Chains A and B, each alone.
Chain A
């Protein structure tokens, strides 16, 4: 158990819908990262937050957004969902940006 929690574990929804994925980092960590794992793209970095502030964006679609709250938990919002958004979404956290990242169990999203 890494100490990073993600909810929900599974999510099934329809195209065009909006969902919110939640991540709670380890208690000592200020950095939160989101990654997407899909069959065709593999593991891709989406976005990084540090202490509530967005630090970097990767291959994140404009339909996706994220935020990190004062208690350091983070949410990834996915809107106007398409079939191709079906994937496993991981959250990871670290103490500082260059420290080791610890991953949560992931949220498996299925868009029908």
Chain B
């Protein structure tokens, strides 16, 4: 069965430091991969997505992610974290089902930013 694992429940970084959030997936075919961010009391905002092509994907707010098929990973990175990046981050894989489609989400990683 398809699944997404985000091994880190919480991560704390200092403002200005670099960030890497881990995501591993289990999916038989070539996956569609996504990172969403949820700020407190807010909905889910799409940061970036990978469908095919270049394995390094650029997103909004200075985020990027790299698809590594050999490691079944799609880690999210940012070179310099801002206090406003404090939020919960969800990795997701898209799964096709006959004439439908759904997202399977990881359990999320909560990012705390130290001033």
Residues of A within 8 A of B (CB): 2, 4, 31, 33, 35, 42-43, 45, 48, 50, 55-56, 58, 90, 92, 94, 97-98, 100-106
Contacts and interface: CB of A to CB of B under 8 A. Distances in A.
Contacts of B101: 31, 48, 56, 94, 97-98
Given A2-B45, A42-B108, A43-B105, A103 B100 contact: no
Nearest to B42: A105
A44 B49 CA distance: 19
B91 to A, nearest CB: 11
Interface in B64-115: 90, 94, 96-108
B32 A98 contact: yes
A48 B90 contact: no
Contacts, number: 61
B11 interface: no
Given A42-B108, A106-B43, A101 B96 contact: no
Counting chain B residues whose Cβ lies within 8 A of the other chain, the interface size class is 20 to 34
SS of B interface (majority) = strand
Interface string B16-43: 0000000000000000101010000011
B46 A102 contact: yes
B55 to A, nearest CB: 18
B44 interface: yes
Contacts of B97: 56
Given A55-B98, A98-B32, A103-B36, 19 more contacts: A2-B43, A2-B45, A4-B43, A33-B103, A42-B106, A42-B108, A43-B105, A43-B108, A56-B99, A56-B100, A56-B101, A90-B44, A92-B44, A97-B99, A97-B100, A100-B34, A100-B49, A104-B43, A106-B43
A101 B34 CA distance: 10
